[in-house]
Structure 1
Amino acid sequence: MDAWRSDPTLAMCAALVDGAELSSFVGGPFDVRAVVAGIRPEAKAGFLLDEVPWEHFPQGHRVKEAVHLLHTGGSPAGTGAGIVGGMCANDMRAAAVLAVPFLIRIAADTRHPHRANALAEASAPARARYFGIASRDELLLHRANTPYDDHYDNYGVEVTGYPAGWSVAAARTAITADTALLQPLLDDPEPAIRIDAAYALATAADHEHAVRAAFRTRLAVEPDPVVRAALVLATAETTRAHPHPPTSTWIREQWQDRTQAPEVRLAAAIGWLCLTDQPAPDDLHATVDHLATDERAHAMEALPWMAFAGGSRETGLRRCIRKLLHPKQPDPADCDDPWCPRH
């Protein structure tokens, strides 16, 4: 315990445990929101990693090394982007947030061999508690807090004691600052890149609705039905953060439109349910029951919203349908076998 309290990477967390006021750290060297906002554009572009105070945040040295290895072409498995995703899965986002601007630049480099891995991890710190989350109240939810909003209680604290809301806000600030780098990826030749770009952009602050407009623009020309579903879910997520009734109406029209691909209609039904507190109408139930085949549920696992929503025995689509439309149904028994099939 004494070693933990004296660890400089946990200084703020230890002080909070000892009764210090969180407000006393706002804007300081242990406020990851301030640190991210203060990274110079030249440092981001030049990967000047030594300018970033990784040492102020738990496991920061590991994240710095991961970014370095990924940038220089090191293996992304375990030593690169996987470190960032793994830390977020373990509810340790503060240091992972510092990697976001650099991951975005790797993803934007069309010549980089690990750009897809970098992009897939870039938005992980921008969402808290999203593994297995599929309820109407929480799916597609990220709170549009201002950068220095101290009301982080809705997110609680990370396993280290660091305020999780600060990490999420910092990650969203980093993504918002780089929307100009991410938006062109919506037109990337690779469907997986287009999906992950939409997933990342959905967490950006979008007060001027430019991001939502970019989703709609891409949707007008997108040929892949699963990518189209991603664009609909991304539109719903950004609309939940920045309410826009006409867009909510448009999303409802998508699941009612029989000319749309089934994946799009299912994504629109899920998105609309998360944007309204109205009871699910009978025609929505009928649409979902008809379209949600096992084959389609597995195909939609390519969408990170669905992949992260699922459980050990359920695909993300099945879990969303159960949680959104039949919330009183119990969860299926967990499976200890990591290769347990999801249905």
Structure 2
Amino acid sequence: MRDWRTDPTFAMCRALADGADPASFAGGAFDVRAVVAGIRSDARHGVLLDAVPWGNFPHGGDAREAVHLLRTGADSARTPTDVLGGLCANDSRAAAALAVPFLIPLAADAHHPHRAAALAVLSGPARARHHGVASRDELLLHRNDPRRHAPDGYDGYGVEVTGYPAGWSVAAARAAITAGAPVLLPLLGDSDPAVRMDAAYALATAADPDRTIRTAFATAFATGFAAGFAAERDAMVRAALLLAVAETARAHVQPSAVSWFRERWQDRTEAPEARLAAAIGWLCLTDEPAPEDLHRTVDSFATDERAHAMEVLPWMCAAAGAGEPGLLRCVRRMLHPEEPEPCDDPWGSSP
């Protein structure tokens, strides 16, 4: 096992632990934002895979090998995607962020055997410390702007387990997804509902100053993403699109967005899953007290069975914790914050 104190991939992290100013590394070979920005379009197809300084980042070699295996269409995508997902789950995202520009073209290649796996994992580094987060203040929130290079790199995210600035990893991944948005947007009209959900989840992390992405979500939800596509009819995908709209709207909340979400959860013709997603979106976009009809809507539809079914939504899967499904965790944290956190300790209830 490598020792982080002598491993050259931890050079920057060791320097930061010794008191170095993160700003002294900004824009250089150890700044994942700068490295991702410098990956040319041909590198995204793997031509320049070895030109990327993977070794400058913790676990970079593992991330590089995972991308290589995915790109070559190895028999199983589970191991490489597990590696990339594991880096994010273990709060070590810098190397996973480097992988994002390479994963986007794989996800968009309809003939690639692991396109769905690549799409499912590529947005992980764009969301730091979001697992188990389910409050109105924190769910769907991005603290940093991927177009801005914060000198300290923290942007409210602090540091990763390795000591690397978490804000840099998040910004790099979000910037890559923003640049790849034109490639990812057509996936909202894919024939596979899981691909449509994961595309919405990824695109929701992109910067959207001109509301192009938010408009695409709303269009797919209401009238179909492109000519020839009917309005989205899959209840779970409709729920995903609503959560994606809410996530993109959080950067600059407009009264019209709040009103639009109110109309969605009040719509009795809408699928229960979508009405629940709209209620969660509304709660995240305003600090207004939840009205009684929202409480009634949630109480009617947020059953245990539906909560488990809605775990297919990446947002709800991420919000889950302590054995509590994401939907029920959101309902408790948003509507009943006074209730205690559940305990998953098997000895916790013992006398």
Deviations 1:311-333 (A, max 9, x none): 23211111110001001111111
Mark the runs of 5 or more structure 2 residues left unpaired by the alignment.
Answer: 223-230
What's 2:299 paired with? 289
Relative to structure 1, the CA distance from residue 248 to residue 171 in structure 2 (aligned partners, 3 Å threshold; closer, same or farther) is same
How far apart, in 1, do the equivalents of 2:306 and 2:134 lie?
Answer: 18
Deviations 1:236-255 (A, max 9, x none): 00000232331221011101
Q: How many residues align?
A: 335
Deviations 1:168-207 (A, max 9, x none): 0100000000001110000000000000000000000000
What's 1:309 paired with? 319
Q: Is the 8 A contact 1:307 1:316 kept in 2?
A: yes
Letter in 1 for 2:15: A
Letter in 2 for 1:196: D
Deviations 1:125-163 (A, max 9, x none): 000111111011111111242430235151010010000
Following TM superposition, by how much is the alpha carbon of 1:292 offset from its aligned partner in structure 2, in angstroms? 1.1
1:24 paired to 2:34: no
What's 2:33 paired with? 33
Matches within 5 A, 1:231-246: 231-246=241-256
How far apart, in 2, do the equivalents of 1:175 and 1:4 lie?
Answer: 30
How far apart, in 2, do the equivalents of 1:195 and 1:171 lie?
Answer: 19
Deviations 1:266-303 (A, max 9, x none): 00000110111111111111110011122221221110
Following TM superposition, by how much is the alpha carbon of 1:8 offset from its aligned partner in structure 2, in angstroms? 2.0
Secondary structure class of the residue paired with 2:78: coil
Matches within 5 A, 1:1-343: 4-74=4-74, 75-78=76-79, 80-145=80-145, 146-151=147-152, 152-220=154-222, 221-335=231-345
How far apart, in 1, do the equivalents of 2:128 and 2:4 lie?
Answer: 24
How far apart, in 1, do the equivalents of 2:346 and 2:143 lie?
Answer: 33
How far apart, in 1, do the equivalents of 2:317 and 2:18 lie?
Answer: 39
How far apart, in 2, do the equivalents of 1:12 and 1:38 lie?
Answer: 19
How far apart, in 2, do the equivalents of 1:18 and 1:258 lie?
Answer: 59
Letter in 2 for 1:173: A
Letter in 1 for 2:25: F
How far apart, in 1, do the equivalents of 2:11 and 2:144 lie?
Answer: 28
Q: Is the 8 A contact 1:226 1:263 kept in 2?
A: yes
Following TM superposition, by how much is the alpha carbon of 1:42 offset from its aligned partner in structure 2, in angstroms? 1.4
Deviates more, 1:313-322 or 1:137-146: 137-146
Letter in 2 for 1:211: I
Following TM superposition, by how much is the alpha carbon of 1:7 offset from its aligned partner in structure 2, in angstroms? 2.5
Following TM superposition, by how much is the alpha carbon of 1:3 offset from its aligned partner in structure 2, in angstroms? 5.5
Using the size of structure 2 for normalisation, the TM-score is: 0.92
Following TM superposition, by how much is the alpha carbon of 1:48 offset from its aligned partner in structure 2, in angstroms? 2.2
Letter in 2 for 1:85: G
Q: Is the 8 A contact 2:46 2:71 kept in 1?
A: no
Secondary structure class of the residue paired with 1:240: helix
Mark the runs of 5 or more structure 1 residues left unpaired by the alignment.
Answer: 338-343
Letter in 1 for 2:150: D
How far apart, in 2, do the equivalents of 1:333 and 1:44 lie?
Answer: 44
Q: Percent identity?
A: 65
How far apart, in 2, do the equivalents of 1:321 and 1:19 lie?
Answer: 42
Q: Is the 8 A contact 2:143 2:156 kept in 1?
A: no
How far apart, in 2, do the equivalents of 1:99 and 1:61 lie?
Answer: 11
Q: Is the 8 A contact 2:204 2:245 kept in 1?
A: yes
How far apart, in 2, do the equivalents of 1:170 and 1:26 lie?
Answer: 12
The CA RMSD measured in Å over matched residues stands at 1.6
Q: Is the 8 A contact 2:143 2:155 kept in 1?
A: no
How far apart, in 2, do the equivalents of 1:279 and 1:168 lie?
Answer: 31
Deviates more, 1:96-105 or 1:192-201: 96-105
Secondary structure class of the residue paired with 1:4: coil
Deviates more, 1:140-149 or 1:285-294: 140-149
Secondary structure class of the residue paired with 2:4: helix
Deviates more, 1:108-117 or 1:170-179: 108-117
Letter in 2 for 1:165: G
Following TM superposition, by how much is the alpha carbon of 1:336 offset from its aligned partner in structure 2, in angstroms? 6.1
Q: Is the 8 A contact 1:100 1:123 kept in 2?
A: yes
